[in-house]
Structure 1
Amino acid sequence: MISSWRQRRATRRTARGTGSDMRELTIPSHFRCPISLDMMKDPVTLSTGITYDRASIETWIEGGNFSCPITNQPLQTLDSIPNHNIRKMIQDWCVENKAYGVERIPTPRVPVSPVQIRDILEKITAAARRGDGDGCKSSVEKIKMLAKESERNKKCIMGNGASHVISSAFQALSKQEPLEKSIEILEEMISAMAIMFPLQEESIKNLKSEASLQALVLFMKGGDLSRRRNSILILKQIISSYPQKATKLGEIQGALEGLVKLIKEPICSSSKKASLFITYHIIASSSNPQRFTKVLLEMGFVSLLLETLVDAERSVCERALGAFDGICERKEGREEAYAHALTMPVIVKKILRVSDLATELSVSIVWKLVKHESEEEDGRAKVEALQVGAFQKLLLLLQVGCSEWTKEKATELLKLLNNLHRDSLECIDSLDFKGIKRPF
């Protein structure tokens, strides 16, 4: 019993001694990066002969510094050479001190070089010219793999124009007949371009061609969630840069159905915003929007937008209101809006509650519905607007300030509603005015 007690006491002393030794353990100075003063994980040597941790020296150079931090000498080249000797010494030291809680640093992957990237991109270009889908696919897969390895690789890939080369190859292969022959490689290219968002302007120029749009719509309509999401986000970038392409996009068979499906069953918030954005531009930019409006109304677009608006976040709300405003440009759209019981309550609710843009769009919608109300409607839109507090909200809007366009529409609305206002009871939610800044 006494011996066991002595053993336990000796064990405690050893433990205390180990802790003391651990606190005294110091990292050799030549293992530390001169910039971060931390132990180097990926030591590289510059042209001046000084070794740094790769992450630290690359951050230094990216900050616009082209001299050695220690010697202050100008760098003859920005390329760095992996210092395998120092790295091996650090790893051996880590293993020797494993008992003190030191973990061995992993052997870093050698970053891809611009020369390697350019070589792969040249192979993609050559394969696309030959119509060699398999050759393109293997090279694109290699680009994707390298981009996922590290952020540095991704920057190198993007900096050498990978998105332009891949989008150009996508345009070329999307022209092949039948398109189904190139499905696998085109899908791989879409996935690769998604890693490089936002795409460069030159890349978007390639993707706005009719053949490219046809292929992107095909992927947007069906398939796995990843390719549908990537396709709609690429289409959004195209329409952002070239709004006039919205009409061409809307004319592609199945495009509107695919957009409505993504709004109704969104893959993520970004895909829903992109779908609403594109739909709005299809309606707004067309010289004959009636054909698009008719298709959308047949798919229950008004009900879908109102359901979206009930509890949508700010950016989704703004895009949904934009699409609703576009629908109300047409008589058919307004008739559908009149027939829906939620139209006035939901739209008026957004005035002064979401953002300046949402307020402007909401006033525009109410103005269109009230202004263009036919005699057959018997003033129902006006009565509904008053019942949900439109008159008081418009008065407050003029007091707190708004754009000249919105001010003009709000003033006209007040005149249209004034005759009925005296005999009506308005339903006001005090939360609608929460956070409103007084003009005095």
Structure 2
Amino acid sequence: MTIAVHHMDRSPSQPSPNSVNVETCPMFRSISEVKRELKKLVRLAAQDEEDCSTEVYDEICDKAQVLKKYKCRKPQPAAPSKSRSFSDQLDSIPVPDCFQCPISADLMRDPVILASGQTYDRASIQAWLDAGHRTCPKTQEFLPNLTLTPNYLVRTMIEQWCRWQGLQLECPLRNPNPNANEKGSEGMTPQDRAYLSSLVAKLSGERQSQRREAARELRALTRKKSLYRAHLAQEGNAIPALIPLLLSPDLETQEHAVTTLLNLSILDTNKKLIVEEGVLQPILEVLRNGSMPARENAAAALFSLSALEDNKIAIGASGAIPALVELLRDGSRRGKTDAASAIFNLCVSQGNRGKCVRAGVVPVLLKLMKNVEEEGMSMADEALAILAFIAGNEEGAAAIRNAGALPLLIQFIKHSSDRNKENAVVIIFALCSRYSAYYKEVKSAEEGDGYVALLDLSISGTSRARRKAYALLEQMNKHVSV
């Protein structure tokens, strides 16, 4: 299927005429350096509790050096023009590709991250989603949720770049409250309010067909209109009217209801409200016993709701984790993806990691890693990322070791992406830290290939992977006699 998006399919070998060479330009080389270091800090804080403080300190020192060098060679900004608009000024300056929205090819004013990991300008990607699309415009992968997360790093870089270019901003690029225009009923017509109220009333109607059609219509409306999501959840009393339909014997009604709640949860200000209304147990019922499309969307809803830390704890306490693991094991391709995304998010909270292990997630994840041809590499990526969380838990480390995961982890270190190699060595490092005898197993794994793979990773891996591999090799030489 061809998607008509301006400049979306530009090959890396065919740079934009307005592009700036990031590798040769001192200004952007240092910015790129800072960006990579900040991403590592985020992953360290989430996954590596035991040696986080030392590594974070090292990363901060590295970034400080980069910024110091950068400051010394920062160009003097040109005097801002007071007679020309921001758009006119921008027309005469080459905009780096990394600051352009992949959809509009314009400078991003409010960069946000889609569930696929791609960054877009909020206005452009919201229009794409409001048109009913559930795929990423750039990668075309299906989106497990429609959440838009502000990309504060890119936003700050753009603002700084504008200042260095002498661009006079008519208003700040930063939007301190991206959901401000979605709160309340502002912008809605009386006819809109009346129609939505009539649909909510029909959700409690006497006839099953009436409830089904109302839920179907609300599902369509909340998918397309962010303004409706705010009104229905915060003023339209739709959430308490939808919850009973999650227990409906009519599976189609149930599917429409859970998908409408998924759509409502896209808006950050609704996430807490939805959980407080008591939605978790009814959603869990759908996750266990609904049709496969309903189970998929129930898992996606839990993923979306778990963006809030308090919700992570509440979802973990609700008993949802065993049902998510079951869907991860036996569900459709999309169901497995939704379940993996939800489990990953829940594992950010340490209290949920042991619950995942007790629910039997480790053998399920290892099976996904083994069956790459059948399940797809993206599922293996998710499985490794979840295992990297779980390996830091005592129960998780024991389960991974007892499952005999080492040969598989070595294979991923030898023949996979940088991200997977990093997660694999993090898992091995966690196991060796708990079990000194594991050093010997690693050194002799795959007839010595394990040692060679770590040696290669200590030279050619990511910064974090190199540190872990080097530490493993150093400790291995102490614990294992030649």
Structure 1 length normalisation: TM-score? Answer: 0.55
Q: Which residue of 1 aligns with 2:97?
A: none
Q: Which residue of 1 aligns with 2:398?
A: 335
**What CA distance in whole angstroms lies between the structure 2 residues aligned with 1:378 and 1:142?**
57
Contact persistence 1:328–1:334 (CA under 8 A)? yes
Q: Which residue of 1 aligns with 2:225?
A: 159
Change (3 A) 1:380 1:349: same
User: Post-superposition shift, 1:418?
Assistant: 3.2
Q: Number of aligned pairs?
A: 289
1:319-334 aligned at under 5 Å gives the runs: 319-334=382-397
Contact persistence 2:316–2:346 (CA under 8 A)? yes
> Aligned to 2:410, which of 348, 355, 373?
348
> Aligned to 1:248, which of 305, 311, 314?
314
Is 1:399 aligned to residue 459 of structure 2?
yes
Contact persistence 1:373–1:381 (CA under 8 A)? no
Change (3 A) 1:400 1:379: closer
RMSD: 3.8
**What CA distance in whole angstroms lies between the structure 2 residues aligned with 1:248 and 1:360?**
31
Q: Which residue of 2 aligns with 1:373?
A: 435
1:1-400 aligned at under 5 Å gives the runs: 118-125=193-200, 137-143=212-218, 147=220, 158-159=224-225, 161-165=227-231, 169=237, 171-173=239-241, 180=247, 187-192=255-260, 199-209=266-276, 211-239=278-306, 241-253=307-319, 255-268=320-333, 270-287=334-351, 289-290=353-354, 292-293=355-356, 295-296=358-359, 299=360, 301-312=361-372, 313-341=376-404, 343-351=405-413, 353-374=415-436, 377=437, 380-385=440-445, 387=447, 389-400=449-460
Change (3 A) 1:209 1:136: farther
**What CA distance in whole angstroms lies between the structure 1 residues aligned with 2:362 and 2:226?**
45
> Which letter does structure 1 place at the counterpart of 2:316?
G
SS of 1:350 mapped into structure 2: helix
> Which letter does structure 2 place at the counterpart of 1:190?
V
**What CA distance in whole angstroms lies between the structure 1 residues aligned with 2:206 and 2:298?**
19
> Which letter does structure 1 place at the counterpart of 2:475?
L
Structure 2 gap segments, 5+ residues each: 1-103, 105-187
1:378-429 superposed Cα distances (whole Å, 9 cap, x missing partner): 75533454636232222222332412x3322111011123368885xxxxxx
Structure 2 length normalisation: TM-score? Answer: 0.51
User: Post-superposition shift, 1:308?
Assistant: 0.8
Higher Cα radius of gyration = 1
1:288-317 superposed Cα distances (whole Å, 9 cap, x missing partner): 744x15522xx3x32221111113333212
User: Post-superposition shift, 1:365?
Assistant: 0.2
Contact persistence 1:308–1:317 (CA under 8 A)? yes
Contact persistence 2:264–2:270 (CA under 8 A)? no
Change (3 A) 1:248 1:187: same
**What CA distance in whole angstroms lies between the structure 2 residues aligned with 1:368 and 1:282?**
20
> Which letter does structure 2 place at the counterpart of 1:246?
K
Contact persistence 1:174–1:182 (CA under 8 A)? no
Contact persistence 1:125–1:165 (CA under 8 A)? no
SS of 2:392 mapped into structure 1: coil
Is 1:416 aligned to residue 462 of structure 2?
no
Contact persistence 2:303–2:342 (CA under 8 A)? yes
User: Post-superposition shift, 1:252?
Assistant: 1.0
SS of 1:262 mapped into structure 2: helix
User: Post-superposition shift, 1:232?
Assistant: 0.9
> Which letter does structure 2 place at the counterpart of 1:302?
V
> Which letter does structure 2 place at the counterpart of 1:336?
A
1:41-76 superposed Cα distances (whole Å, 9 cap, x missing partner): xxxxxxxxxxxxxxxxxxxxx9xxxxxxxxxxxxxx
User: Post-superposition shift, 1:165?
Assistant: 4.8
**What CA distance in whole angstroms lies between the structure 1 residues aligned with 2:452 and 2:364?**
28
> Which letter does structure 2 place at the counterpart of 1:236?
F
> Which letter does structure 2 place at the counterpart of 1:344?
L
Change (3 A) 1:314 1:209: farther
**What CA distance in whole angstroms lies between the structure 1 residues aligned with 2:196 and 2:353?**
42
SS of 1:208 mapped into structure 2: helix
**What CA distance in whole angstroms lies between the structure 2 residues aligned with 1:367 and 1:352?**
16
SS of 2:348 mapped into structure 1: helix
Change (3 A) 1:225 1:256: same
User: Post-superposition shift, 1:262?
Assistant: 0.8
Contact persistence 1:302–1:324 (CA under 8 A)? yes
Contact persistence 2:445–2:451 (CA under 8 A)? yes
**What CA distance in whole angstroms lies between the structure 2 residues aligned with 1:160 and 1:331?**
43
**What CA distance in whole angstroms lies between the structure 2 residues aligned with 1:378 and 1:314?**
28
1:60-117 superposed Cα distances (whole Å, 9 cap, x missing partner): xx9xxxxxxxxxxxxxxxxxxxxxxxxxxxxxxxxxxxxxxxxxxxxxxxxxx98765
Structure 1 gap segments, 5+ residues each: 1-61, 63-112, 148-153, 424-440
User: Post-superposition shift, 1:277?
Assistant: 2.7
SS of 1:211 mapped into structure 2: coil
> Which letter does structure 2 place at the counterpart of 1:214?
Q
Matched-pair identity in %: 18
